[in-house]
Amino acid sequence: MKPIMLRALSPLMFAALPAVALAEDIPPSVTMDGAVAVQAATLAEGTLNEAQVQVLKDVAHQKAVVLTCEGFAIDEARFTGVFETAYPTDAEFNALDEAGQVQLRSVMMLVLGTFLGGDLAIASTDAEAWCASATAEKAQADAPNRVWAD
């Protein structure tokens, strides 16, 4: 189904499938991902918005795949382009005082590192499944915030 259709039908999906996950239904890898995201979001609070955090999560996930799985690499040009979307413009950045610039940079590195470490830990629990999932993800050529090389 095309993404546009999914977007249109999402509200119906919510209504049609109102399942509340039972604890035993949640895969440990998902629970771990959520736990890491909570801490990353806490670190980002007051410095980064949700969209910026999402970009860092996507980038860290892809880097963890590169470190864990064969056949993946980072395309540095794509990485720079994606990272730029999470970063303030030159004008916005220069408008910050030095302390604000250092704070922004430090928090971005911390959040990126938090996601990366979490992803590596998750991957280590079942690298085969992790890499299989990543291979399927890579087939989605238009995946958002893609930094993988083709």
Q: How far is the CB of 71 from another protein (least distance, A)?
A: 13
- CA dist 131 and 70 (Å) reads 8
| 3 state DSSP class of 73 | coil
Minimum CB separation from another protein for residue 65, in Å? 9
Alpha carbon distance 123, 25 (integer Å): 19
Asked if 56 contacts 115 with a C-beta cutoff of 8 angstroms, the reply is yes
Q: Which is nearer to another protein, 71 or 84 (CB)?
A: 84
Q: Is 56 exposed, middle or buried (0-12, 13-18, 19+ CB in 10 A)?
A: buried
Nearest approach, Cβ of residue 128 and another protein (Å): 11
Whichever of 21 and 150 has its CB closer to another protein, that residue is 21
Q: Minimum distance from CB of 68 to another protein (Å)?
A: 11
Q: Over the Cα atoms of the chain, what is R_g? A: 17
